Amino acid sequence: MGNWRKFILWFAQEHVDFRVQEFESLIKMFGLQARRLTEQTRKPFWVVEFRDTDSALLYASRSISLRAMIELYAHSHKLPEFHQRLRNHVTTNWNSLAEYFRVEASFKIVVETYNKHFSQREKVEKIESMDYLQIEGAVNLKKPEVEWWYIEFWGLDPTAVPPEPEDILFGRLVAHGQRHLIKELSLKHRKFIGNTSMDAQLSLLMANQAMVRKGDLVFDPFVGTGSLLVSAAKWGGYVLGADIDYMMVHARCRPSRITQKVREKDESIRANLQQYGCADRYMDVVVADFSNPVWHPRISFDCIITDPPYGIREATEKVEKKASAKANTRSESMVHYPSTSHYSLQSLYGDLLEFSAKHLRLGGRLVCWIPFHSEDYDPKMLPQHQHLNLVANSEQQLTGNTARRLLTYEKCFEYSPTEPLLGGITQVPTPSQDFRDRYFNNALESRQERRMRKAELREQARVEMNARGKIPTDGRSKKCDLNKARFV
Ligand SMILES: C[S@@+](CC[C@H](N)C(=O)[O-])C[C@H]1O[C@@H](n2cnc3c(N)ncnc32)[C@H](O)[C@@H]1O
Distance 302 CA to ligand 1 centre (A): 20
* CA of 348 relative to ligand 1 center, distance in Å: 11
Best mutation site among 187, 193, 195, 196 for ligand 1 pocket (most ligand atoms within 8 Å of CB): 196
What's the CA-to-centroid distance between 196 and ligand 1, angstroms? 9
Span from the CA of 247 to the centroid of ligand 1 (angstroms): 12
Quote the CA–CA distance of 309 and 220 in Å, as a whole number.
Answer: 12
- Distance from the alpha carbon of residue 456 to the mean position of ligand 1, in angstroms: 29
Please give the backbone phi and psi of residue 127, each rounded to the nearest 5 degrees, phi first: -65, -45
314 C-alpha to center of ligand 1: Å?
7
Site to substitute for ligand 1 among 253, 289, 314, 343, most atoms within 8 A of C-beta: 314
Distance 244 CA to ligand 1 centre (A): 7
Q: Which domains are assigned to the chain?
A: 5-178 (3.30.2130.30), 182-440 (3.40.50.150), 447-487 (no CATH)
10: CA distance to ligand 1 center in Å? 35
Q: What pLDDT, on the 0 to 100 scale, is given for residue 439? A: 58
Tell which atom from ligand 1 comes closest to the C-alpha of 193.
9
Q: Which atom of ligand 1 is nearest to the CA of 220?
A: 6
- The reported pLDDT for the residue numbered 434 is 58
Residue nearest (by alpha carbon) to ligand 1 atom 5: 224
Which ligand 1 atom is at minimum distance from the Cα of 291?
A: 19
pLDDT along the chain (488 residues), means of 10: 87 95 98 97 97 97 98 98 98 96 97 97 97 95 97 97 97 98 97 96 98 98 97 98 95 89 93 98 97 93 96 70 62 63 88 96 97 88 94 91 94 77 50 56 60 85 82 63 60
Residue nearest to atom 8 of ligand 1 (CA): 197
- HSE of 433, CA atoms in CB hemisphere, 13 A: 14
pLDDT at 2: 57
Is residue 38 exposed (0-12), middle (13-18) or buried (19+ Cβ within 10 Å)?
middle
Residue to probe by mutation, ligand 1, list 222, 249, 369, most atoms within 8 Å of CB: 222
pLDDT for residue 443: 45
Q: Which residues of 415-439 are buried (b: 16+ CB within 10 A; e: fewer)?
A: beeeeeeeebebbbebebbbbbbbb
Alpha carbons within 13 A on the beta-carbon side of 351: 16
Going from the Cα of 344 to the center of ligand 1, the distance in angstroms, rounded, reads 14
| Ligand 1 lining (C-beta closer than 6 Å) | 194, 196-198, 222, 224-225, 227-228, 243-245, 248, 289-291, 307, 309, 314, 316-318, 343
| Ligand 1, atom 10: closest residue by C-alpha | 309
- Cα of 263 to ligand 1 centre, how many Å? 19
pLDDT at residue number 123: 97
Chain centroid to Cα 162, Å, comes to: 34
User: Which atom of ligand 1 lies at the shortest distance from residue 289's CA?
Assistant: 20
CB 360 within 8 A of CB 385: no
